[in-house]
C-alpha cells in the first residue's frame, strides 16, 4: 500500500473531500490530490499526521518473518509432477487412516 492510497483510504472513510482534508491540515486541495495520485510521496510522519487529521490512527507493527510456507512451496516446486502426485496420494491415504482410527 502506498502513502497516497493510505491517505485516500483515510479520507474516504472519514467522508471528507480532498478540500476538507486539506483545510484540516492547513494546506491546499492540490497537495492532497498530488499525494493520492502518487505524484509526490509524503514521508511517514506526514502520512501519520494526515491520517490523524482524517480522524484515524495509523498503526504499524513489525513481525518476525515466517518463511515456512515459502519453504514448503519451494520444496514442492522442486519435485517432478509424478512425485507431487505420489506425495498427495500418500497424504490422502494418511488422512483416511487417521479418520478411521478416530472413528474407532
CATH of the domain at 12: 1.10.260.40
1 band by pLDDT with thresholds 50, 70 and 90: confident
Q: Residues 51-95: pLDDT tens digits?
A: 999 999 998 889 888 888 999 999 999 999 999 999 999 999 999
The parent domain of residue 91 ranges over 68-103
Q: Do 41 and 77 share a domain, yes or no?
A: no
Residue 41 lies in a domain: yes
Residue 48 lies in a domain: yes
Residue 16 lies in a domain: yes
Model pTM above 0.75: no
Residue 62 lies in a domain: no
Residue with cell 486541495: 29
Q: In whole angstroms, what is the distance from residue 70 CA to residue 76 CA?
A: 10
Residue 18 lies in a domain: yes
Q: Give residues with Cβ within 8 angstroms of 41, minimum separation 6.
A: 2, 3, 4, 35
Q: Do 40 and 13 share a domain, yes or no?
A: yes
Amino acid at each position: 500500500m502506498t502513502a497516497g492510497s493510505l491517505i485516500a483510504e483515510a479520507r474516504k472513510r472519514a467522508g471528507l473531500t480532498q478540500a476538507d482534508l486539506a483545510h484540516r491540515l492547513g494546506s491546499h486541495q492540490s497537495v492532497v490530490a498530488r499525494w493520492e495520485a502518487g505524484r509526490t510521496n509524503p514521508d511517514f510522519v506526514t502520512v501519520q499526521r494526515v491520517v490523524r487529521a482524517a480522524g484515524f490512527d495509523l498503526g504499524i507493527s513489525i513481525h518476525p518473518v515466517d518463511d515456512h510456507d515459502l519453504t514448503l512451496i519451494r520444496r514442492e516446486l522442486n519435485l517432478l509432477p509424478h512425485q507431487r502426485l505420489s506425495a498427495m496420494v500418500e497424504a490422502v491415504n494418511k488422512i483416511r487412516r487417521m479418520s478411521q482410527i478416530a472413528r474407532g
